[in-house]
Every structure is written in C-alpha cells, then in structure tokens.
Structure 1
C-alpha cells in the first residue's frame, strides 16, 4: 500500500467519524416530542403537543401564564348543545391532569384518560366566558400527592358554533 493510499484512507476514516459525530450531536439536540392531548366535539377533533413543558419538570407561574396566551392554539367549533371530550395520553393521566378555562381550574384533577363537559359551559358568563370564543387548556400535574405543580400545558381555542 502506498503512502498516498494510506493518507486517503485516514481522511475517509476521519470524515466518516466526523459525520457520525455530527449526526449524533444533532439527534441529541432534539427534544423528545411531548404527549398528545385531544379535544373532540361531535365528529371534529383537534390534537396538539404541549404548548409548554410536557417533560415532567414543574413550570413556574410566569411560564404557565405566558403559555396560556398561546396565539397558535388549535381551534374547534362547539355548539352549546354538544359535549366536549378532552383526551390525554395514559402517561399524563397517571400523574393527574385538569382542565383550565381562561386560566382558571374548571374541574377537579383526574387520573382518567378522558373527561366530558357540556359545550354550554364554555360560553357561560357564570364560568368566566366572554364573547364567542374561549381558551381552554389541559394542565398536567407532577403526580405527587397533594401537589398542585403543573408540568405541561396544552392550549386549545373553543369557538362558538351555530
């Protein structure tokens, strides 16, 4: 084997090792996707990953407040006579979760994978609703007894239907 061949092989080996290292670096920079949450009304449904959090780390009050103002929240039309179904992945249910309406807790924490609420609630002033749309959020808890810490927030917009 000539010196030139040996130099070319070393360069290829270094280039290959560099490419593999760069690929691993890119993969390690990616965050694992968060669990999905879904809202279903009649035959329409929207699903979303967490707007913030979703990785078992408690969020600060400021993070939660900012997250609840998500301008990219997925929307679904709701007739007041329909039932709104909220669904979460089992990993969220295992640690408990709740539903927030305009930033306020609407229901008790749950360990079920789904909850149902009458559509009329989301447009009733008694529950803090104003106008023809309401922001709702699914808030995941940390699973510790008696803890109110939120680890993830999924935000949706309910729009008043016909």
Structure 2
C-alpha cells in the first residue's frame, strides 16, 4: 500500500475521532426529572432551559428570569382532582418547593412525592387580604430545587389548565 493511501486513512481516522469528540462535547448531560400527575395523565420534564445550575445556586438575575418564565408541558386538571408532584431522588435530597401565584408550601420538602388540591392551585387571591377572588383557567407552576438556604439551583415549569 502506498504511503499516500496510509496517510489518507490516518487522516480519515483522526477526523472521525475528532468529530466524535466534538459531538460528545456538544451533548448536555440530562437533568433530573420532575413529574406532574393528574388522575391517570402524567407529564415530566427536565429542568427548564436556562434554569439549571448543575449543582450550583442560580445567580439573582437567572433566578428572577426563571421565576417569571411561562411555559413548559401542559396537563389538564378537573375540579376536585389532586395534582401530584414527583421529583427524582436527587431533587428530594436537596429539598424543593412548588411555586405558583399562591403560596402553597410553608417549608421545603425532602420527599420525592407530594400531592396538592388542584382547585387551590387555580384560586386567584387578593394579595392584601388573602381572600379568594375567583378562579383562573390556567396557571404555571415551578418546581424549585433548593441548595439549603443558599437559594435555588434548578427549576422545572409546568402549565395546568382547568377543565370544566
């Protein structure tokens, strides 16, 4: 075999290895999952884009941006149904809260599973008095993984739509 052909094969092998390494470097490691279940329907998601600190606390700007995000996967909630939240054990070990327009959790949870009254999630409350003023048709919830008292390190967003 000529040295020219050997050189070409070596160059092709080096090129293939380089492309493989670039492809691997471009892949993001999957984040832990959060799941919302209502009745027999479930949706799950990795952390919301831009809202995963990979074990580190999100800075103040990112935290504000992430808390104000709307969107994510959608699930329907009929009146009287429970909304069940499940998180990967990694999230449970860190501690987490669910955030929506109404305060729902007095303290962070270390559990991998919690359930909430679906109707409560849709209530529109007066910020001054705390009294219910009506019901929303849609609400976005955020599952927020905490790093102790240091702040949030990841967020997952889900949309809930009320069925009538």
For residues 38-80 of structure 1, the C-alpha deviation after alignment (integer angstroms, 9 at most, x for no partner) is 1001111111110021521211232123223444411111123
The CA RMSD over aligned residues, in Å, is: 2.0
For residues 19-41 of structure 1, the C-alpha deviation after alignment (integer angstroms, 9 at most, x for no partner) is 10221122112210111111001
Residue 115 of structure 1 and its aligned partner are, at CA, apart by: 0.6
- Does 2:104 align with 1:106? yes
1:134 is matched with which residue? Answer: 139
Conservation of the 8 A alpha-carbon contact between 1:100 and 1:106: yes
Aligned positions of 1:117-128 closer than 5 A: 117-126=116-125
Aligned pairs, number:
155
For residues 62-114 of structure 1, the C-alpha deviation after alignment (integer angstroms, 9 at most, x for no partner) is 21232234444111111230111000000111111110113x65212111101
Structure 2, unpaired ranges of 5+: 128-133
TM-score (norm 1): 0.86
TM-score (norm 2): 0.85
After TM superposition, the runs of 4+ consecutive aligned structure 1 residues lying more than 4 A away are: 127-130
Query: Quick one: distance in 2 between partners of 1:54 and 1:47?
Result: 19
For residues 107-144 of structure 1, the C-alpha deviation after alignment (integer angstroms, 9 at most, x for no partner) is 121111011111111112238786211110100112x4
